[in-house]
Amino acid sequence: MGDTKPLYASKTFWGAVLVLMAAAARLAGYEIDAATQAEIVDLILLAIGAAGGLVAIYGRIRATKQIGK
């Protein structure tokens, strides 16, 4: 298990964040079921991936040097 990834790319991290948020929501009188929590985690990871792609495109547009062969 030598491969690493950033914390924000971890489903475990976002799952834990969402569980904490769901617990806080429950204290406030709202209910978020496990299926909805899983969907939210998937949407967060999708949004992070899309943001990464946009940043890469923006970086290439703003770059001052050409890509080498």
Q: At what angle do helices 34-62 and 11-27 cross, to 10 degrees?
A: 130
* Burial (CB count <10 Å: 0-12, 13-18, 19+), residue 41: buried
Asked if residue 40 is part of any domain, the answer here is yes
pTM: 0.58
Per-residue pLDDT at 65 = 82
Asked if residue 35 is part of any domain, the answer here is yes
Cβ neighbour number for residue 9 with a 10 Å cutoff? 13
Per-residue pLDDT at 33 = 86
Q: What are phi and psi of 66, to 5 degrees?
A: -75, 160
CB 41 within 8 A of CB 14: yes
Asked if residue 67 is part of any domain, the answer here is no
Q: pLDDT 10s per residue in the chain (69 long)? A: 568 888 878 888 888 888 888 889 889 998 888 898 889 888 888 998 899 899 889 888 888 888 777
Asked if residue 44 is part of any domain, the answer here is yes
Task: State the residue range of the domain holding 55.
Answer: 8-62
Per-residue pLDDT at 30 = 86
Asked if residue 2 is part of any domain, the answer here is no
